[in-house]
Amino acid sequence: MIVRASCCLLLALMACARSRGDVLDEIAPAAVVCIGNDAPAEEQQAAHLIFAALRKRSDSARFLSDEQVLATPVHESGNWHLVAVGRPTTNSVLLAYPSYWALDRELHYAPLGHMPAAPFTETRGFYVGGFGYFFPGRNVGFVEFDRSPLYAAMLLSLANQDNTSDESRQPLRFLVRITGSTPEGVLLGAKRFVESQMLYGLAIGPPRWPRAHDIWTLDDENIKPDPPAWVPKGTFSAPGIVEKDSPLSYLGWLMVDRTMYAGFLEITGCRPAQMWRAKYATTGGLVDFNRSPHHRASGNELLIIKLINPDDLTRALSKLGGNIPVSIAGRLCHKTRTVYVGRNGDNVTTEKHGTRPFGMDRSSATYILATTIAGQPYLILANLEKGYVDVVMDAVVRCLPEKQ
């Protein structure tokens, strides 16, 4: 009994302890931070803050100007994880490769010489899809992991040279945008990226966002909080589930936008109070887009949902299809049906193994834990590669406060 208790304690410490293994470790060896030569002091500070964090993890991280980045041939820059810091007016990389999800409306429409097609479309201030408009006077930072367009250009050039376009042979690379409505906002975004490993979302400064809170309109209470402290971080594994050389590593977290809040309400009929997405990496690192930190990628993550009404736990669990009870570290969880992606790309509900093109296994399993933490109702959904879902749920259960 003493040996067993000691093993459980050791596993809990491994899973809950903060240790290196986040997204900065993942990208640092191939990272390039870029900033405009004439960027304001706050944006320069933001870039150097990120660069210093990356250099602590790898001596290979580099610091370049936006002009140097754009002048580099894609067969070289396509191998970078490029971290572009600033605004489109101060960093030409952000102007050359704008985000669909975050743009300055005036900067976007002014060169077109006309108003947008829809007369009700707002043209002022800073806009982030899924979060709304931020008018002048509000310091807002935005962080986004996106597939690198330089990486895509490199793959196309390779395909033209040797008639091969097998992306599985090339390491996946990202463009990380650290931008904002103001220089102060850019610095806010950089700090949240480095200090809390936020991979997608907003960092907002005062004054408070003066708007009504409903399922389609998020306010400061949805945006400011980081994920709960009990979310498993660091690198961990569970004996007997995954081999020692195949651990699970916490990458960081993504802010949930209003479309997912509304989607959860539509599917379950239950209103969420707050939601977060925690991302993990398995053996091999970031080689598959579906398991990457991109906000449209749904693999290898925990979805943490804090509900308003405790009575909604059972109802939401049923609506989400959690109908197979399983025991994880002594707590009752529920498993959904396993979905595999066949070679033709169609979703098939089956117990038969399927593969995706290039022979990469894309099987996944989903576990759901319905629980009460500090008097608040939570649903915790784990969607990871086969085998790893057991590991992360085991870590979640062991990191949770004592059951109440």
At residue 143, the 3 state secondary structure works out as: strand
Same-domain pairing of 146 and 292: no
Check residue 355 and report its DSSP letter. Answer: B
Task: Choose between 340 and 299: higher pLDDT.
Answer: 299
Structural domain includes residue 2: no
Structural domain includes residue 334: yes
Whole-number pLDDT of residue 344: 41
Whole-number pLDDT of residue 169: 57
Among 207, 235, 262, give the residue marking a domain's end.
207
pLDDT tens digits, residue range 46-57?
Answer: 999 999 999 999
- If pLDDT is split at 50, 70 and 90, which confidence band does 157 have? confident
Among 148-162, 196-210, 306-320, the least confident range: 148-162
As a whole number of angstroms, the distance between CA 304 and CA 327 comes to 19
Q: Domain count of the chain?
A: 2
Average pLDDT over the chain, rounded to an integer: 81
User: Which residues lie below 8 Å from residue 111, measured CB to CB, with a gap of 6+?
Assistant: none
Structural domain includes residue 184: yes
C-alpha Rg value of the chain to the nearest Å: 22
In the block, residue with structure tokens 């605004």: 87
Torsion sign over Cα 358, 27, 148, 382: positive
- If pLDDT is split at 50, 70 and 90, which confidence band does 78 have? very high
Structural domain includes residue 368: yes
Structural domain includes residue 7: no
Say if residue 13's pLDDT is above 60: no
141: closest CA among 43, 44, 32? 43
Say if residue 160's pLDDT is above 60: no
Same-domain pairing of 142 and 231: no
Whole-number pLDDT of residue 158: 74
C-alpha distance from residue 285 to each of 27, 257, 301 (Å): 10, 26, 14
User: Which residues lie below 8 Å from residue 103, measured CB to CB, with a gap of 6+?
Assistant: 88, 126, 127
Say if residue 107's pLDDT is above 60: yes
Q: Residue 176 is part of which domain span?
A: 12-207
pLDDT tens digits, residue range 182-197?
Answer: 999 999 999 999 999 9
175: closest CA among 282, 96, 241? 96
Check residue 361 and report its DSSP letter. Answer: B
- If pLDDT is split at 50, 70 and 90, which confidence band does 161 have? low
Task: Choose between 366 and 346: higher pLDDT.
Answer: 366
- If pLDDT is split at 50, 70 and 90, which confidence band does 4 have? very low
Whole-number pLDDT of residue 125: 77
Q: What percent of the chain has pLDDT over 90?
A: 47
As a whole number of angstroms, the distance between CA 111 and CA 132 comes to 22
361: closest CA among 290, 295, 296? 290
Whole-number pLDDT of residue 365: 60
Same-domain pairing of 71 and 96: yes
Same-domain pairing of 80 and 128: yes
Same-domain pairing of 250 and 310: yes
Give me the half-sphere count of Cα atoms (radius 13 Å) on the Cβ side of residue 221.
Answer: 11
Same-domain pairing of 224 and 202: no
Same-domain pairing of 175 and 269: no
> Ranked by mean pLDDT, which of 80-84, 123-127, 210-214 comes out on top?
80-84
Same-domain pairing of 28 and 157: yes
At residue 38, the 3 state secondary structure works out as: coil
Same-domain pairing of 142 and 251: no
Q: What percent of the chain has pLDDT over 70?
A: 76
Among 125-139, 166-180, 236-250, the least confident range: 236-250
Structural domain includes residue 295: yes
Same-domain pairing of 232 and 191: no
Structural domain includes residue 212: no
Say if residue 353's pLDDT is above 70: no
In the block, residue with structure tokens 């960081």: 252
pLDDT tens digits, residue range 210-256?
Answer: 666 666 677 777 788 999 999 999 888 766 666 656 788 999 999 99
Give me the mean pLDDT over the 160-175 stretch: 64
In the block, residue with structure tokens 């042979």: 169
Q: Evaluate whether 78 touches 151 at the Cβ level (below 8 Å).
A: yes
Task: Choose between 282 and 111: higher pLDDT.
Answer: 282
